A = this chain, B = another copy of it.
Amino acid sequence: MILENDLVIIRYSDRVYIKRVKKGESLNVKSHILKYDDIIGKEEGIFLNGFFVAKPTLEEIVKYGFKRETQIVYPKDAFYTTIKLDIPSCKRILEFGMGSAVMSAIILKTMKEDAILYTHEENQKAYDNAIKNLKTFGFLDDRLKATLANYNDAKYDEGFFDCAFIDTKEPWEYIDKLHKELKPGANVCFLVPTYNQVSKLLESLKDKFFVYEISEILLRKLKPNPDRLRPEDFMPAHTAILIFSRNINHSC
Measured CB to CB, the residues of A under 8 A from B are 11, 42-48, 52, 54-55, 57-59, 75-76, 78-80, 82-86, 88-89, 106, 109-110, 113, 183-187, 193-196, 198-200, 202-203, 207, 210-238, 241, 246-249, 251-252
Contact = CB atoms under 8 A, between A and B. Distances in A.
B230 A195 contact: yes
A218 B220 contact: yes
A59 B76 contact: no
Contact of A45 (B89, B184, B226): B184
B196 A228 contact: yes
B78 A83 contact: yes
Given A196-B227, A199-B226, A236-B233, A185 B109 contact: no
Contacts of A207: 47
A200 B42 CA distance: 30
Contacts of A202: 224-226, 229
A195 B222 CA distance: 10
A113 B112 CA distance: 9
Contacts of A47: 207, 210, 248-249, 252
A106 B82 CA distance: 12
Contacts of A222: 198, 214-216, 241
Contacts of A48: 252
18 contacts: A44-B249, A45-B183, A46-B252, A47-B207, A47-B249, A55-B185, A57-B86, A75-B83, A75-B84, A79-B80, A79-B83, A88-B110, A113-B113, A195-B195, A202-B229, A213-B221, A215-B222, A217-B219
Contacts of A193: 228, 230
A158 B44 CA distance: 15
A43 B185 contact: yes
A87 to B, nearest CB: 8
Given A78-B83, A216-B220, A237 B234 contact: yes
A75 to B, nearest CB: 7
A200 B199 CA distance: 13
Contacts of A52: 210, 212, 246, 248
